[in-house]
Structure 1
Amino acid sequence: MKIIIALSCLLALAYANENANVLRNDAEVNVDSFKYAWELDNSAKVAQEGVQNGEEWKVNGQHSWTSPEGEAVSIQYLADANGYQVLAANPPLPTPPPVPEAIQRALAYIAAHPPQPEH
């Protein structure tokens, strides 16, 4: 989870450049929660908030910017015990390629023959 948060911060920093001015920068960090949001005058906007419940973190966030071609780009995501999940993206994310047949057979074999515990 910490890696997801760190990568999100790095992605957000990639939007910034030395010519961008900060229009808004809000942050609140607690032991079991955090939230931050910032906006630059080059159209980059980032918001993220997270809550810890026991050992598990649940993080919601969104990033948006205008591409060099002038296209609006945005990503909304959730990161939790199930990993990083894109909830919405503009433009839509491409459809991943199908899983190769050999990999499907290997996964089916593993599911049918789980490893035996070592004694």
Structure 2
Amino acid sequence: MKFIIALACLVALACANENANVLKREQEVNVNDFKFAYELDNSVKVAQEGKLKGEDIWEVKGDQGWTSPEGEQVSLQYVADENGYQVLSANPALPTPPPIPEAIQRALEWIAAHPKSDE
């Protein structure tokens, strides 16, 4: 499932660049692994590889890069596996999420201290 989501994101990126020309494209698909990469003439570069780790657990690693409309180089490295999608590095850095509000933090602590009984 995660593989399909990651692949859909890449297809969406490619569709958003429908006027770009393909400079390089490589792909290899096997039963237990895959890899592909492409480069477009508008600075977009994408590479991804995945392998089957268990019966239905995929580990997918990839990186993407492009130039923003402001001329800034953007890059992203990620992994998607049984732990979900995780960004390994991003340039520019991803924004730091805001802190958890105090009332929410107290509620989370109360829930953790008072687990639901099975009765």
TM range (shorter): 0.7 to 0.9
Structural mapping, 1:36-115, within 5 Å? 36-54=36-54, 55-115=56-116
Runs (5+) with no aligned partner, structure 1:
none
Report the CA distance shift for 1:98/1:112 in structure 2 as closer, same or farther (over 3 A): same
Q: CA deviation at 1:61?
A: 0.5
The answer to whether the 8 A contact 2:64-2:76 is kept is yes
Percent of pairs identical after alignment? 60
Runs (5+) with no aligned partner, structure 2:
none
For the aligned residue pairs, the C-alpha RMSD in angstroms reads 1.8
Count of residues in correspondence between the two structures: 117
Which amino acid is the alignment partner of residue 82 of structure 1?
N
Moved over 2 A (4+): 113-118
For 2:71 and 2:65, locate their aligned partners in 1 and report how far apart those are by CA, in whole Å: 12
Q: CA deviation at 1:41?
A: 0.7
Q: CA deviation at 1:7?
A: 4.1
Tell me the alpha carbon deviations over residues 65-90 of structure 1, each in whole angstroms, 9 at most, x when there is no partner: 01111111000111111111111111
TM-score (norm 1): 0.86
Report the CA distance shift for 1:117/1:4 in structure 2 as closer, same or farther (over 3 A): farther
